[in-house]
Amino acid sequence: FCIIVCNLHGSVQDSIFQITGNPVFTHKYTADPAVLVHNDRLYIYAGHDECLPPQNHYELNEWLVFSSDDMVNWTEHAVPLRAKDFTWAKGEAWASQVIERDGKFYWYVTVEHGTKPGKSIGVAVADNPLGPFKDARGSALITNDMTTAYTSIGWDDIDPTVWIDDDGQAYLFWGNTQCYYAKLKENMIELDGPVMTVDLPNFTEAPWIHKYNGWYYLSYAQYFPEKLGYAMSRSINGPWEYKGILNEIAGNSNTNHQAITEFKGQWYFIYHNGAIPTQGGSFRRSVCIDRLYYNEDNTIKRIQMTSE
Ligand code: FUB
C-alpha cells in the first residue's frame, strides 16, 4: 500500500510504502543504487530511469532518495538533486554515492560535462541526507583530461564511490574500463594528490568500497553484460586480490550496479535488474535488495538473487 504525505501547502512531500519483495520500488524505474546508513536509518540514492519504449537509451535526469528504518516500510522523499543543478553539466544523472563527514553530506555524481568531452564527476553538499543538495564547487571534480588512461573514451570518468579511512583520509574511486582512485582533501571537494590506478581483472565499472573484519572489499562490475565481482585487501591502497563473482548477470539488464552495507546487524547487497514486466530491461531498471553473507575466511558467499 502507499500513503502520500503532503506538506502544509498541499504539495506532495513524502510517499510511504510497505515493501517486502524484489524489485523494491515498482512505481518508478530506479538504477545504480548507492546506500548510506545514518542515525539507524538506511537511505538509498538511485538514478531515475525515464526512457520510455520504444526508445532504448539511458535517460536519467534526476536522482531519487528512499529511506527506511526496518527494510519493510519505505519512504520516498522529494527529488533531492538533478543533473542540471550542476550548471556546468549538460545532464545525465548517472551513478553516484553519498557520504557523511562532520555533519555534512557529500554527494559524488556522474554527469555529462557541458563543455569538456564526456562524463565528469561533480560533488554536491547538504546539511542532512535528504537535502536540499547544492553543487559544492561550481565546477567538475574529475574531468576527462585528468585521467590519461582512457581519454579516447568519453565515459571512463563515471561511477564514483567514496571512502573515509580509519585515519580520516578520504578517497574517491571511480572509472569505466580502468579503475582510478585519488585522495580527497578534508574539505571533501578537492583532490589531494595525483590520480592513481587500480588494476582489476575484467573491470568494467561500478566500483564500491566497504570494510568488514579488518578487510577492505572493492566490488565492481565485470564483463558486459555485467556480473559483479570483488577483490580484497588489507589496505585501502592495495594490493587488491581478486576473489571471484558476487552475482550473475541480473536478468535482462546489461548493467548490474551494487552497493553493500551493514544495517542493524545484517549485511545487504543492493543492485538493479530489469525485472519489472513487461517494459523492464537495460534502460528501465529496478533496485533490488538481497542478503549478503561472509564465509569464515572473510570472503563473500555468492549472492542468491531473489530472481534465481
Ligand atoms: O546508469 C548509467 C550507467 O549504467 C551507470 O553509471 C553505470 O554504472 C551503469 O549502471
What is the complex's ipTM, to 2 decimals? 0.98
Amino acid in the structure at residue 138: G
**Residue among 77, 87, 93 nearest 36 (CA):** 77
6 CA to centre of ligand 1 in angstroms:
32
Q: Which atom of ligand 1 is nearest to the CA of 272?
A: 10
Q: Residue 166, by phi and psi: left (phi above 0), alpha (psi -120 to 50) or beta?
A: alpha
pLDDT beyond 60 at 23: yes
> In the predicted model, what is the mean pLDDT of the chain?
94
Q: Is 296 left (phi over 0), alpha (psi -120 to 50) or beta?
A: alpha
pLDDT band at 97 (very low <50, low <70, confident <90, very high): very high
pLDDT of residue 14: 82
Question: Which one of 63, 112, 158 would you pick to mutate in the ligand 1 pocket, going by the greatest count of ligand atoms within 8 A of its CB?
Answer: 158
| N-terminal to C-terminal alpha carbon distance within the chain | 26
Q: What is the whole-number distance in angstroms between the Cα of residue 167 and the centre of ligand 1?
A: 31
Residue 55 confidence (pLDDT): 97
Share of the chain above pLDDT 70, in %: 95
Share of residues in the chain with pLDDT > 90 (%): 89
| Substitution candidate for ligand 1 out of 252, 255, 285 with most atoms within 8 A of CB | 255
Give the contacts of 265 (CB within 8 A, at least 6 positions apart): none
Atom of ligand 1 nearest to the CA of 95: 6
Sheet holding 266-273, edge to edge: 259-263, 266-273, 286-291
Residue 37 alpha carbon to ligand 1 centre in Å: 22
Say if residue 198's pLDDT is above 80: yes
Average pLDDT over residues 35-46: 98
Output the pLDDT for position 16: 87
- Please state the atom number of ligand 1 nearest to the C-alpha of residue 60: 1
Q: Report the pLDDT value the prediction gives residue 8, as an integer from 0 to 100.
A: 40
| Secondary structure (3-state) at 140 | coil
DSSP β-bridge partners for residue 242: 231
Three-state SS annotation for 199-214: CCCCEEEEEEEEEECC
DSSP 189-252: SSB-S--EEE--TTEEEEEEEEEETTEEEEEEEETTTTEEEEEEESSTT---EEEEEEE---TT
Cα 204 to Cα 175: distance, rounded to the nearest angstrom: 8
- More confident: 108 or 152: 108
In this prediction, residue 147 carries a pLDDT of 87
Q: How far is CA 43 from CA 79, 112, 180, 292, in A?
A: 13, 25, 26, 18
**Tell me, what's the pLDDT at 210?**
98
Distance, CA 10 to ligand 1 centroid (Å)? 35
Ligand 1 nearest-atom number relative to CA 255: 10
Q: Is the CB of 206 under 6 A from ligand 1?
A: yes
Identify the bridge partners of residue 273 per DSSP, sorted by sequence position.
Answer: 286
pLDDT of 6 over the 90 cut: no
pLDDT at position 150 is 65
Residue 2 is predicted with a pLDDT of 46
Ligand 1 atom nearest the C-alpha of 221 is 8
Give backbone dihedrals phi and psi of 78, rounded to 5 degrees, phi first.
-60, 150
- 3-class state of residue 146 by DSSP: helix
| pLDDT above 60 (res 250) | yes
pLDDT per residue over 54-82, tens digit each?
999 999 999 999 999 999 999 999 999 99
C-alpha cell at 188: 571533501
**pLDDT value, residue 94:** 98
- Where does the pLDDT of residue 166 fall: very low under 50, low under 70, confident under 90, or very high at 90 and above? very high
292 lines ligand 1 (CB under 6 A): no
Query: Band of the pLDDT at 1, cuts 50, 70, 90?
Result: very low
Residue 206 CA: which ligand 1 atom is closest? 8
Name the pLDDT band for 151 (thresholds 50, 70, 90). low
CA distance 26 to 19: 10
Instruction: Tell me the mean pLDDT in the region 3-22.
Output: 63
pLDDT tens sequence across 120-146: 999 999 999 999 999 999 999 999 989
Q: pLDDT digit string (tens) for 204-245? A: 999 999 999 999 999 999 999 999 999 999 999 999 999 999
Per mean pLDDT, which range of 10-24, 257-271, 286-300 is the poorest?
Answer: 10-24
Give residue 58 CA to ligand 1 midpoint distance, Å.
8
